[in-house]
Chains A and B, each alone.
Chain A
C-alpha cells in the first residue's frame, strides 16, 4: 500500500509537470471556459432576463404635463411589465434623447404623450357624453367635432423580437384603454350630474358627483370578471433560469468535460511512444499512472469548478448580470461536480483507449462534447429547444449534470432530489472505465 501511494505520488507529480508545460492544454481547460462563461452569460443576459421575467424599461416623454401623464404612468407601472422613467441621465428626457437611448438598447421603448393630449381627450369625452345623453335614442355619434384625438407615439428597440413587440403594444393598448374608460366615466358622471342639477334646480353635492365618477373605477379590475391564471404545474416557472443560473453551471460542466482532450491524448501518446511498455514492466506502475492521471484531472476539475463559480459570484455582476449565488446548495453542488468530473474522466479514459491517435481523440472528443453540450442544454438553454431536442437531453451526460445543477440552484432541490442524474453520471463514469480497461487489455 505504501509503495502504491509513493507510485501514485510520483505519477501525480509527473502529470502536474506535464500539464504545467502544456500551454495549449491550459488554455483549453481554463482560458476558454473563462472566456465562454463571461461572453455567453453577458450576451444572453438581456434575452434571458426577459424570458425569465418579462420587463421592459420604458421612457415616458410627457409633453402634456397634465394629470393624464401621471395616470398613464401609474397604469403602465401597474401592468407589471414596464419600468417607467421620465428622466434620462438625471435630466427630464427629450424626444431626441429618448430615440437615441432606445436605438442603442438602453431602453426597450419610449412613449411620447403630446402636448394638449389630456385636454383633447377630455374634450372628446365630454362631447361624446353630451351628445349621447342629449339624445340617447340616436346612439353614439359617428364623428366627434371636438379637437382631434391625441396620437401617442411609441418607439421600440429595433432588435426586439416580434413577441416582445406584441407584448409591449398589447399591454400599452390595455393601459390606454383603461385611461380612456376612466375619462369617459368622468365625463359621463359630470354631464349626468349637470343634467340632474338642472332638473332638480339645485346643484348636486360635489362629493356625490365625484363619487359617482369614481365608483365604477373604484372597484378595480376583476370586480365584474376575474381571471385566475394558474401554472400547469407548481414547478413550471422554475425551468426558466436567468443567464447566470444557466451559464455558470453549463460552462463549468463543459470545461470539466474538456479534460477528455488532454487526458485521452496523454494516454494515447503514452501507448504510442512506448512509455506504457516501460510502465508495464514496473510492478504496479500502470495502475499508479492511471490513478495519478485521475487525481490530477480531478484536481483540474475542482479548480475549474472553483474558478467558474467565483466568476459567476464576483466577476459577472461587475458586467451587469445578476450574481451567481449557490447559497446553501454549494455542498450538494460539489457532489454533483465530483460526479461530473468522474463522468468526464471515464469518458476521457474510454476515448484514450479506443482512439488510435491524439488527433483522432481530440477531434472525436471535442465534437462529442459539443454535441452532448448542444442536446444537453449546455450550449443553449433547454427551455429554448424544440420538444424533440429536449427529449434528447436524456442521452447527454452534460445534460444530466446540467439537470442536477439546475435542480439545486433553480428548483431549490437537495441532493436527494438530484440523485437520479448524479447516479447516471456515476454509471457513465463506470462504463467509461470498463470500456477503457477492456480496450487496454485487448491492446496489451
Chain B
C-alpha cells in the first residue's frame, strides 16, 4: 500500500517571487526508508510541511494511506509522526515529562503511556537521562530526545527533518541505529538530510529535488549506476543540482 503520495504539488508563499514547489510528484510505499534530498531552498521543508498537514498546498493533492490529507480524520493523522529539525522540546521539563506531554496530547495515558515512554527512551538510549531537564542535556542527547518525542505515539509514517544534524558520531550512530530498527519494524520513514553518505547507506530509495521539482528518484545504487562518472550519491547529487553556492 502507498503510505504517501503527492500529485502535482505546488506551493507559492504569499509575496514570494518563485514557487517553492512546482508540481512535486512522489509515491512512498509502506515500510520504505525514503530520503528526500536537495540543497538549501530546494523545497524539502515545504514538502514535509505539506505532507504533515502543517501547510496547505497551492495546488495538487497529498494522500496518506490512501486518504486525502486535507479531508483525513484524526485517525489517519495520528498515524503520522514528525521529528522536526528544531529541538522542539520544553527545555525546563525533563525528557520523561516532555514525552508524557506529547503522549497525552495523542490521548495516551496510564500504563500504556508509561510503557511507550520507557520503550522510546530505551530505543534512543536515554533511559538513564529520563529525569533530567532537557536544557541540561548535550546536543546529541537533545536530538535523541527529539526523536523519542516523535515516536511516543507509535506512528507508522514518520517524517524526519535532518535528524542527525550537528551531533557527535556516537549520537549519530545511535540515531541511525534507531531509524534502522524502526524501518525493520515496518515504519515508513521519510527523511531529509545533507549527509549524503548516510542517506546512501540507510535509504532504500531517494528523491533528489531542486527548485521544487524531483530531479531524480530511485535507489541510491541505481542512481549512482545510472549516472555516468559518478562514484557515489554525492557525485550524483552535485551533478544534478550543480556546484553553485546556495543561500
Contacts and interface: CB of A to CB of B under 8 A. Distances in A.
A444 to B, nearest CB: 8
A3 interface: yes
Interface stretch (B17-25, B76-84, B207-215): B76-84
Interface in B124-157: 133, 149-150
Nearest to B149: A278
Contacts of B77: 281-283
Interface string B100-112: 1111111101000
A11 interface: yes
B107 A277 contact: no
Nearest to B53: A281
B93 A283 contact: no
B88 A278 contact: yes
B97 interface: yes
Nearest to A280: B54
A45 B101 CA distance: 48
Nearest to A276: B88
Interface string A5-18: 01101110110011
Contact of B84 (A10, A14, A278): A278
Contacts of B150: 278
B137 to A, nearest CB: 15
Interface in A253-290: 273-275, 277-285, 288-289
Q: Is the interface of B mostly helix, strand, loop or mixed?
A: loop
Given A279-B105, A281-B82, A273 B74 contact: no
B84 A282 contact: no
A21 interface: yes
Interface residues of A, number: 27
Nearest to B150: A278
Nearest to A272: B86
A277 B84 contact: yes
Most buried by A among B54, B82, B88: B88
Contacts of A3: 74, 107
B93 to A, nearest CB: 6
A17 B93 contact: yes
Contacts of B102: 278, 282
A7 B105 contact: yes
B54 A277 contact: yes
Interface of A: 3, 6-7, 9-11, 13-14, 17-18, 21-22, 273-275, 277-285, 288-289, 444
17 contacts: A3-B74, A7-B105, A9-B104, A11-B104, A18-B90, A21-B92, A277-B86, A278-B84, A278-B88, A278-B102, A279-B105, A280-B54, A281-B53, A281-B82, A282-B78, A283-B74, A283-B77
Sorted from nearest, which 9 A-B pairs have the closest CB atoms?
A10-B104, A274-B86, A274-B88, A283-B74, A14-B101, A278-B88, A21-B92, A285-B105, A281-B82
